Amino acid sequence: MTTNYTPGQYTEEGDEGGAMYDKALPPPGFHLFRLLDFERKSGPAADYLNVKVIVLEGDYRGHLIYGMVSFSQAAGWKLDQFMAALNVTQRLDLDSDAQLKKVLKGLVGKAKTDWEEYQGEKRTKIQGWYSVSDEIRERWAQGSTGGSAGGNGSNGGATRANDDLPGDDFGADDGFGLGDDDVPF
């Protein structure tokens, strides 16, 4: 196996022409995340949410990843997958951004990601949403201090994350240099 180095990228040549590995982007795979925010957009079939999550563990802890969740009938399975991944069990008014933000912001789940090209740039995109065990959800709800941060029932059984990653107060400068004004939506 030959290994080549180019600043900012690590390429291993091997099976099927080699795999690209960009240190600036979380690699394709599964990533534990916290939902930081979303923005509603209008699509041809229905409204959808552009979702912003932050990676919670590993070498890519603190990296932002973006995904989309459509409200169209044809994509209803993906909305179900998204809500199940966040452990949301209550009925929600999809027309109420205020209710959605109150319930969804800060929740923990797992995302399957891949890379895609968008406007000439490579980026990590969420391909699927997966739930995590109650133990993992509780660990992230307790955060670094061990205190409980949620589970009061307001989010239908889901537990809010509370640790030292961006998003604890959803927009303040938190040492990572990320605020609501620093993201593309």
Residue 144 lies in a domain: no
Residue 169 lies in a domain: no
Q: How far apart are CA 72 and CA 75, in angstroms?
A: 5
Give tens-digit pLDDT for 111-139.
999 999 888 888 888 999 999 999 998 88
Work out how many domains the chain is built from and give that number: 1
Residue 6: CB partners within 8 Å, gap ≥ 6? none
Residue 44 lies in a domain: yes
Residue 48: domain span: 26-133
Give tens-digit pLDDT for 52-82.
999 999 989 999 999 999 999 999 999 999 9
